[in-house]
Amino acid sequence: MIPCDRTRRCCERFCRLGGADCLECPAPGIGTSRGPRTLTLEIVLRKQHYLQACAQGSVLLYWGWYWRPVYDVAFLIVAQLLFAYAFDMLLGWSRRDTYTLGFGPFPVIFSINLFLWFKPDWFYLQLLMVALGFAAKELIC
């Protein structure tokens, strides 16, 4: 169903640009009644997001310096960030043609990890909580 050449060209263009200001990629198979869509990626860095991310990241680093388990779960925090970006991007593109990329998921993920940790066996619940939060943001606003 998905044309391989078009998808490959889109991915090559994204890699060449290195994630530059805008990615225009036709989305085969995701057409609506108005025809095929062109999905775009805008990069917008908001001061409140990156300042809060720096402050909360500093608290996590300081905390980890004195309590080793914080550094031991750092890979889980990175996994949550990757999941949050991917989920937010897919959810945003399912409703609009433009996704705004920035530091928005960082304060959400860092706030969750400052107050709540699931054990690694139950980590999927933390991802579920992240998905629920981003879905609420997208569907309520």
Give pLDDT tens digits for 15-37: 454 443 334 444 444 444 566 88
pTM: 0.72
What count of Cα atoms within 13 Å lies in the side-chain half-sphere of residue 24?
2
Residue 87 to residue 81: CA distance in whole angstroms? 10
First CA to last CA distance, the chain: 33
Whether the per-residue pLDDT at 137 is higher than 50: the answer is yes
Q: Is the separation of the CB atoms in 134 and 88 below 8 Å?
A: yes
Span 78-92, pLDDT tens digits: 999 999 999 999 999
Strands 35-43 and 25-32, bridge-based pairing: antiparallel
**Tell me, what's the pLDDT at 117?**
87
